[in-house]
Chain A
Amino acid sequence: MRLFQPTTGVKIRLIVLLMAGVALLAIDRRYDHLGAARDFIAKGIYPLQLAVQVPSQFVATSAEFVQDQLALMRHADTLKHENLRLRARLQRSQSLENENTRLRTLLRSSARLSQKVQISELLGMDMDPFRQRLRIDKGEGNGVFVGQPVLDAHGVMGQVISTSSDAAHVLLISDPSHVIPVEILRNGLRTVAAGIGRADTLQLRYLPDHSDIKVGDELMSSGLGGRFPSDYPVAVVTEIHKIPGAPFLEVYARPRALLDRAREILLVWDEAATTGEFAAADPG
């Protein structure tokens, strides 16, 4: 007794779909033609993405709501103090920046202009050993562009890899396919920090075994490659292994940014980079 057997119709449909799937994969991998289609579908499922935010946001808001008055006042107090401290530091850095601009004009090199930042909130994240990515709630409509650097309050987080009209995907520096050029704050030694698929670890590649590097060294973005602004904290060296016979050290570092905990992130518009391009295009 056979109630159902795969009719040729089902088989043909299967084969057509499998071929369509493979074709989609190939096109999506090689070309950009599917961006519009992806954007269209993304707009359709955007309400779903917003809806799934509701429970966790509700928990967060109600947790804030039920905090007692005293705790809130204490919280406000610490924030006031911190604000004061930061303002004092800002004044100092303002004068340093002025001095820096003056010296740079003296040296006739391009001045670094101020950077515009915008706060964005996380829509979701995707942290498995393959992919370390975030979804954020700002997109093309807010001026977000592919390749834009993303920071949190502690350091560099990653870069934007795709945008739709009101959301964007961010590739974190811990993604196995991501590498960021860095330099050691102490001595300016340049290297690259690659992600290995874990939010708490980066690997420093191609450091010869006599390199001057210590546990605790601060790694700053070097700005080489032109993707990330220079001199932002990236990571701290945590482990150094010398492997006998191997030409390179095995060095690990812990990212400064709270890659798996941050809720608000900063998008940076590096105006120096754009004016730099203009300057390069027009030497006169």
Chain B
Amino acid sequence: MLHIRNVWVIPTSLLVALMLMITPMPAWAIPFRPDWVALVIIYWSIALPKNFGVGTAFGIGILADVATDTLLGQHALAYTAMSYIALLEHQRLRVAPAIQQAFIAALLLLVHRVILLLISGLVGQHPHSYSLYFAPVLISAALWPWAFSLLRALRRRYRMT
């Protein structure tokens, strides 16, 4: 792991995303809540692959598991797998145009969501309807360009290279 300036920005952004994940919202809006943590993990995986790794993704996943009271390891596994794929593809992703990035982000989010679904299924929690289950994937992917520019601005502001 390389030493860079202002490395605290990474955990801080992850914690802010975690807070957005548990912010109270009106009940109708909850199925559409974007997966902020996943977006932030994807960003740091492709922007600073040498400083952000699967271990951090796993750690924030454990926090997410406790915060949302899911089985310990459920989010952790999903984020770890997603982050690994993003790390593998980070060169291609970094230079891709925004639309293409959003598309790949959607695929990564889909992987994450499917892993969550598989684990829920294994322990016997089946959703009553699947139609809304994948809504956050599309919404998060649609928000990707903004999340990307915001986090990139942060990274440049704190000169993390």
Q: How far is the CB of A214 from chain B (nearest CB, A)?
A: 25
Query: How many Å from the CB of A103 to the closest CB on chain B?
Result: 44
For the complex formed, measure the closest distance between the CB of A148 and the CB atoms of chain B, giving whole angstroms.
16
- A contact residues around B72 at 8 Å (CB): 24-25, 27-28, 34, 37-38
Query: Cβ of A128 and Cβ of B31 under 8 Å apart?
Result: yes
B115 → A minimal CB distance (Å): 10
Query: Which of A129, A169, A177, A261 contacts B133 (CB under 8 A)?
Result: A129
B interface: dominant SS: helix
Q: Please indicate the chain A residues that have their CB under 8 angstroms from the CB of B150 in the complex.
A: none
Q: How large is the interface on A (under 10, 10 to 19, 20 to 34, 35 or more residues)?
A: 35 or more
Contact partner of A53 (CB less than 8 A), chosen from B24, B76, B124, is B24
| Range for the number of chain B residues in contact with chain A | 35 or more
Shortest CB–CB separation between residue A278 and chain B, in angstroms? 33
Among A184-219, those with CB < 8 Å from B are 196-199
B67, A129: Cβ atoms under 8 Å? no
Knowing A25-B72, A48-B19, A177-B124 are in contact, say whether A128-B67 is a contact too (CB < 8 A): no
Q: A21-B80, A24-B73, A129-B128 are in contact. Are A48 and B123 (CB under 8 A)?
A: no
Given contacts A42-B66, A48-B22, contact A129 B87 (CB under 8 A): no
8 A Cβ contacts from A40-70 to B: 41-42, 45, 48-49, 51-53, 55-56
Q: Does A3 contact B (CB under 8 A)?
A: yes
A52 touches B80 (CB 8 A): no
Interface residues of B in 21-45 (CB under 8 A from A): 22-24, 27, 30-31
> Closest CB of chain B to A2's CB: distance in Å?
8
Cβ of A45 to closest chain B Cβ, rounded Å: 6
Tell me if B119 and A25 are in contact (CB < 8 A): yes
Tell me, yes or no, whether A125 is within 8 Å of chain B by CB.
yes
Report the minimum CB–CB distance from A117 to chain B (whole Å): 24
Say how far B32's CB is from chain A's closest CB, in angstroms. 10
Answer yes or no: A254 CB below 8 A from chain B CBs. Answer: no
Question: Is A131 an interface position by the 8 A CB rule?
Answer: yes
With a cutoff of 8 Å between Cβ atoms, the chain B residues found around residue A37 in the complex are 72
Chain A nearest Cβ from B65, distance in angstroms: 8
**Do B62 and A41 touch (CB < 8 A)?**
yes
Q: Which of B126-153 contact A (CB under 8 A)?
A: 126-130, 132-133
Complex CA distance for A199 and B27, rounded to whole angstroms: 9
Inter-chain contact B123/A29, CB cutoff 8 Å: yes
**Does any Cβ of B come within 8 Å of A79's Cβ?**
no
Q: A21-B58, A21-B77 are in contact. Are A133 and B69 (CB under 8 A)?
A: yes
Cα distance A275–B66 in the bound complex, in angstroms: 35
Does B54 lie within 8 Å of A17, measured CB to CB? Answer: yes
CA distance A216 to B54 in the complex (A): 54
Which of A13, A22, A124, A133 is B73 in contact with, Cβ under 8 Å? A22
Instruction: Mark A residues whose CB is within 8 Å of B.
Output: 3-4, 6, 10, 13-14, 17-18, 20-25, 27-29, 34, 37-38, 41-42, 45, 48-49, 51-53, 55-56, 122, 124-131, 133, 135, 162, 169, 176-177, 196-199, 260-261
Smallest CB-CB A-B distances: 6 pairs: A24-B73, A197-B128, A129-B127, A260-B27, A21-B77, A25-B73
8 other A-B residue contacts (CB within 8 Å) besides A21-B58, A127-B27 = A4-B87, A21-B61, A25-B73, A55-B23, A122-B24, A126-B69, A129-B31, A197-B128
7 A-B residue contacts at CB 8 Å?
Answer: A17-B58, A24-B71, A48-B15, A125-B24, A129-B127, A129-B130, A129-B132
